[in-house]
Structure 1
Amino acid sequence: MTTLTEGGNAPLTGSSPRVRVEGPVDVTALVVNPDGKVAGDADMVFFNQPSAPGVRLDGRALALDLGSLRPGADRVVVVASPEAEGATFAGTTVRLVVEDGASTTEFTPSRLGAETVVVLAEVYQRGGAWKVRAVGQGYDNGLAGLATDFGVDVDEPAEPAAAPVAPAPPAVNFTKGEEKLPVDMRTALNLRKQQVALVLTKHRMTGLRCRVVVVLDVSGSTSSLYRKGVFSRAVERVAPVAAQVDDGAEMQAWAMGGRAQRLENITVGDLPQWLQTYTAKRYTEAEGWNNEKAVIEDVARYVAREPLDIPTLVLFFHDGGVTDNKGTEKALRAVEREPVFWQFIGIGRSNYGILEKLDTLAGRQVDNTGFFALDDLDAVSDEELYDRILQEFPSWMRSYYPAGSPALQGLS
């Protein structure tokens, strides 16, 4: 076995080496020309585009067929980024292993910390022979930023659409898991992301980054709404908000019944399965009555345990019939100073109790709550839904965070 350090290289004797990366990372390969640039977006191999001529991604391993690389390519750049979106390499060990017939070459970068992406190695051609060079160069601009440096046309968060003169070629999309969705759901997701972008622009928050939490009322009175698919459609329609503003394009989720019940996270790629598990019928493991106070406190504890330098937006779907008005108000006042905005959304009924008075609660330094009712969810357009969801959130952010806070960088 050959062990390399940064800058070291080793010869490859075969034409089909296997490159394996150990650690909690996503692996990417870039097929580049002598000028260090890709010839097109098809030269990027990653989770949403797992193959190119001569390169195939299988989990955290790359199978290379160097004789089958596209014409003009003389190098394959091996890149790793943390599997958890928005994470860095701090406290993480990453090891590269190149298996070349009977020979094995390994490399462990020695200087990783706050970086969000690292070029681990290059498999390159020199004088007609192929070699592997250990690089270990980290960057803090993320996988999309590094890909752009290599000439990849990255699909930025959707901007308001203008009428194009001619169709633009599709760019590389970094919404993780989107490729697993059924075609109709994927199409709807992308159209809705554009609507979210329109609303973000309207409210001067085009660079917004935040964590999104969904709370679903599962009290007994919601049974018919679940049977009719109302809650399934609600979750599917708010998922594009997270796809636009959350680095991992995911949402944390709770059921609110007689007690608070944490559910599995909602990710884009697993959205159909999540909906089938939790919204195809009413979730009964949280008991059948309302306890708003319990879920408010539980979500607040989670935010305290998992702090971020960006805010948390809670989308709380409720069919009305608040059991404890005073307890709910007291719980919301108790979390006033937490970095959380509570957006309550009424669906299906009109008796929302204290929820209707949240915007006018006196005696708070910061208005940390909003409410609107959608008695007929299907009668409201996506743009109107997103506008109402995000209407009060930016003003809360500007009131809650001091000027110059990193959380405000996405607001203008």
Structure 2
Amino acid sequence: MTTAAPSKNLTNSSTKGEALPNGTALLGDQFTIKRRLGNGGFGITYLAQDNYLGRNVVVKECYPEVFCRRDGKSVYVRSDQHYEKYRSIVTMFMREARTIAKMRHPNVVGVHRIFEDNDTAYMVLDLIEGRDLLDIIKKGDQKLKPQQVQEIMIKLLDAVDTVHRQDLLHRDISPDNILLDKWGSPVLIDFGAAREEASRETRELSAVLVVKDGYSPQEFYFAGGKQSPSSDLYALGASFYHLISGEAPPNSQTRMAEFAGQNPDPCVPLTGRFDEYDPAFLAAIDKAMNILPKDRLQSAREWSDLIDGEQSERIKPLILSQADNLGPVLSRLVSETNEYVRKSQTLEQRPRERKIETPVKQIPNWVLEFNEESSKIVNSGKTRAQSPAQTAPIYTPPELRPARRRSRIGMWFVRRFSS
């Protein structure tokens, strides 16, 4: 089953009626909308057909419903005073789509294309065939073992760390935005609410709030709330809290109100409740879900070290800083390859030296007959006391022996046959 669940927004209004009709063409005729998958405060998600490549994809449309409306296919601002805010969101949507596309992480959904159409922006993402964690939790037909849960967590922490190193927040981590593909590997999806850290945003952009009760930290509920990597980690911890306990954690605003009144936290910690899990694993989730941001885990790498310190020390990802420039390295490799090919071609074109082989001369039959007769004559008078060196010499014609002084038998042969 393919899932891409919708997000809830603060206004609690539905954009179902604002979605593009099935069969709508985008970017000329390259993409065709098949059906709506979900929506959130920032946009609408569709299942679409890539007509050029002949495959299904997910298309996310930038549609901040607070500031815009649809007329036909096109998107318009609700009033002129919202135009600058709307265009800022479209620009941010395009910029962050490019950032996500650069991540190239196996546990982050891939972005393949971004484009503008209908006076708004779109991003084209991988369609992940699998089940989301929320579906697994609710149906209960696929019980995940503690070791599987820990492995999923470790992969997601590495994915979230990659997102945060791009100075980006996901802002919508929840069980319905974590897919398990057919190999059981998690994929973080739905970056429609992704944005740069709130400290960089204007209060107008922060007003477009996307929250999910039980998963969103308390700073997501009000405009201008200081958001940081610990905000995403809270949502990730709350997602696994639900997966392990079977119950979604209490609303963070409710928790904050009880904390302010110095009452007990309505969110019961996982630690000590589930013996099949490593206590350090559960304690890390509880720490990530602290109400106050300063009391939480501050980075995904810190979390990984707590639950899998040995592996974190053993496997370290290659992190390239902005100062690292691969251009000179690639240029050098290309230059060396070209030089090698050039030399190889030169050697192939160079005429090869031919080895002159001296033909082997055959001994004439009459020479063989003479040697045989001479051997019989000499051997007829040989005694046992004679050594092998005293046996008859073997005649070799002059043209077959090295240049040297002729032997007596050779001189005899020349005189006999020349007379």
Q: The TM-score by the shorter chain falls in which range?
A: under 0.3
Q: Select the structure that is richer in helix.
A: 2
Query: Relative CO higher for 1 or 2, CA cutoff 8 Å, sep ≥ 6?
Result: 1
The TM-score normalised by the length of structure 2 is 0.21
The TM-score normalised by the length of structure 1 is 0.21
